[in-house]
A and B are shown apart, each in its own frame.
Chain A
Amino acid sequence: MTIDAKNILVSYTKNGKKDNTISIINSVDITIVPGKVTVIFGRSGSGKTTLISVLAGLLKPQEGSVLYDDIDLYQQNDDFISDFRSKNIGFIPQGQSLLSNLTIKENILLANNNGNDSDRAEELIELLGLSEREEYLSSQLSGGELRRCAIARALINQPSVVFADEPTGDLDDDNTQIVFELLRQKAKDGAAVVIVTHDESAYNYADIVYRMDGGVLALSDTQK
């Protein structure tokens, strides 16, 4: 699935005053292609999370369109977008986003939309080194374990698009490598993978590199 975002504009009005508008994303155009890892680098506050929220159908931009092949996402209703996200998009949020009253495995299976694919869940749990933790409640886990669980959850439905927002933020080097390898593999299998990060080591896994600054996106001049 190819994502084609055009002229994306996100802004917020401060204190409800119209003339006090700050723009977060400024006329961004981006095309995400299947089979490739797209990495977006950028300073804190540059608008990376906002941009991928827009791309994943979680935030409707003031202007611009997001096309998944020929589906104009924000022309659809919420039921459609939600269902579409569930089936096609794996989203790894920047912060903690697991349900604390469910175990690791339950959290992963909750996102599973084709029945209870326990085998697939086990496979991901194993791959991400969570086997010993699988029956733990998510409230009993470390930040890094939670992050890996969120990654497994995002991949449970074999999505054709993966968004990872700082997926290695709280991981050690070994686990960082495992996660990047895993995402790299997803791309090899045909998925469109987008990684948002500060972590320069992501560069080694990237096919296409963007840099974001003050809401403006540009292709990096250090393309591989």
Chain B
Amino acid sequence: MNIAKLPLKNIISYKKRTIGLILILVILTMSLFGGSIFIKSLNNGLDSLNERLGADIIVLPKDAESEVDLQNLLLQGTPGYFYMDKSILNDLESIEGVDRISAQYFLVSANADCCSVKVQIIGFDEETDFTIKPWLNESYQGVLKDDEIIVGSMLSTKVGHTLKLYGKEFLVVGKLEKTGTGLDTAVYTTGDTVKTLIEAAEDKGISILSKQSPDDVISSVYIDVKDGYDIDTIVSDINLNNSEVKAVRARTMMTSTSDRLGIISSAISFFVKIIWAFAAIILIAAFYIITGERKKEFAALRVIGVSRKKLGVLVMSEAIIIGIIGSVFGIIITGAFMYSFSVLIGTRLDLPYLLPGVVTTTYYILVTFISVVLLGTISGLISAYRAVSVDTARILRE
């Protein structure tokens, strides 16, 4: 036994005290680390959605629902479909300033055997697509054949497995990167395949189109505008000249989401700050009170020749060790929770939610760790000051 072993000994033997302090520190850690990860994941989700859309303008059928449907599809993964006449594609192609343009076809699966719920089927045009293929994650480089599909990252099927849609077997040849959005639960295939699926559905008596032929419709058009052209001008041009469709700026469509996200983020940062303010006060007060109750112990150490300096170091060491234990525990608990329940959190939120990568997470871990240990150290300093100013002679008489 010696003085150097005393901090650890004290931490272990005064269990209630230690657990109480660690609990406060764990709460501090959880709020800061959890809050940061949560806010970052929301921002990541929105960024990834913006990036994934990859288009400046989206053209949809002009009815109130289709825009809402598309938003639900993107943000929550709620499957949906809508159609407009294919002829619009030619009109749009000829607009001055349009760089890339590609049509997509939407359909909802009847219960696919992969999944307990209906999945979104998105058909894209192999030749013109610029929004889906750049995100192919796995090896697939080729051209999709009629019976091949690509799946979003959240579907449980693997590359090489097959999936049945409207009675037809499809081979999964690729998987997309995770986006944290509704795009993760979709199945991707060619426009032609979607058309045959529509026919297959109608053969089964599921009516999807009222009168047109599947060959004459598309669901949406994605437009990439050339640099130097004003996106808003093109949007209003399209809307003026085509009564059947509605063009929206991709970014505008995201504004409401972005606003909601801003509100959630600031609410969370506010709560984190409140929790910190309270917990910090409680922590400092707890250390202060505990030190007061340990006067006899400090006096005893002074009697056997422990200097004020060493006494201060002893108290500081205890505070720092407890700070480290508390923040490490808090980080592990929060990390485990945030990473195991990220899907659930994302679903509950109805917002794109994408956890940060290793580098960002490590950064948050470090920031949290340093902040919490620092706060522990500050509380320790206050206690240490109290400990070193102990009036030994007076306490010995008590």
Contact = CB atoms under 8 A, between A and B. Distances in A.
Check if A and B associate: yes
Interface of A: 49-50, 53, 58-59, 78-79, 81-87, 89, 91, 93-102, 105-106, 109-113, 116, 153, 165
B291 to A, nearest CB: 15
B2 A93 contact: no
Given A102-B1, A110-B6, A82 B393 contact: no
A95 B299 CA distance: 11
B396 A110 contact: no
A87 B305 contact: yes
B304 A111 contact: yes
B397 A94 contact: yes
Contacts of B3: 110
Contact of A49 (B9, B297, B309, B397): B397
Given A78-B307, A82-B310, A97-B300, A110 B398 contact: no
Interface in B1-43: 1-3, 6, 9-10, 13-14
A93 B6 CA distance: 21
Given A78-B308, A83-B305, 14 more contacts: A49-B393, A49-B397, A58-B396, A59-B393, A79-B307, A82-B306, A99-B297, A100-B297, A101-B9, A105-B1, A110-B1, A111-B304, A111-B305, A113-B305
Contacts of A113: 305
Contact of A82 (B297, B299, B300, B305): B305
Contacts of A87: 305
Interface string B380-392: 0000000000001
Contacts of B300: 93, 97-99
Contacts, number: 82
Nearest to A10: B393
B318 to A, nearest CB: 12
24 contacts: A53-B392, A58-B302, A59-B393, A78-B307, A81-B307, A83-B305, A83-B307, A84-B305, A85-B304, A91-B304, A93-B300, A95-B396, A95-B397, A97-B296, A97-B303, A99-B300, A99-B301, A101-B9, A102-B1, A102-B9, A109-B2, A110-B3, A116-B2, A165-B396
A87 B296 CA distance: 22
Contacts of A111: 304-305
A78 B307 CA distance: 6
Contacts of A86: 304-306
Interface string B282-305: 000000000000001101111111
Contacts of B302: 58, 82
A74 B305 CA distance: 15
Task: List the 6 shortest-distance A-B pairs measured between CB atoms, nearest first.
Answer: A86-B305, A82-B307, A101-B13, A59-B393, A111-B304, A53-B393
A86 B3 CA distance: 12
A102 B398 CA distance: 21
Interface of B: 1-3, 6, 9-10, 13-14, 296-297, 299-310, 392-393, 396-398
Contacts of B14: 101
A120 to B, nearest CB: 13
Contact of B309 (A53, A78, A95): A78
B307 A110 contact: no
Nearest to B395: A95
Contacts of B396: 49, 53, 58, 93-95, 97, 165
B65 to A, nearest CB: 70
A148 to B, nearest CB: 16
A116 B127 CA distance: 82
Contacts of B397: 49-50, 94-95
B314 to A, nearest CB: 12
B398 A95 contact: yes
Contact of B1 (A58, A83, A109): A109
A105 B1 CA distance: 9
Nearest to B398: A95
Contacts of B309: 78-79
Pick from A93, A96, A113 the residue with the most CB of B within 10 Å: A93
Interface centre among B9, B304, B393 (most CB of A within 10 A): B304
Nearest to A137: B13
Contacts of A49: 393, 396-397
A154 to B, nearest CB: 8
A101 to B, nearest CB: 4
B179 to A, nearest CB: 55
Contacts of B296: 96-97
A94 B303 CA distance: 12
A109 B5 CA distance: 12
Q: Tell me which of A49, A86, A87, A116 has the highest count of chain B C-beta atoms within 10 A of its own C-beta.
A: A86
Contact of A58 (B13, B303, B398): B303
A1 B392 CA distance: 24
Contacts of B13: 101
Contacts of A91: 303-304
A101 B304 contact: no
Given A82-B307, A111-B305, A101 B10 contact: yes
Nearest to B303: A91
Scoring A53, A91, A110 by chain B CB atoms within 10 A of each residue's CB, the highest score goes to A110
A45 to B, nearest CB: 10
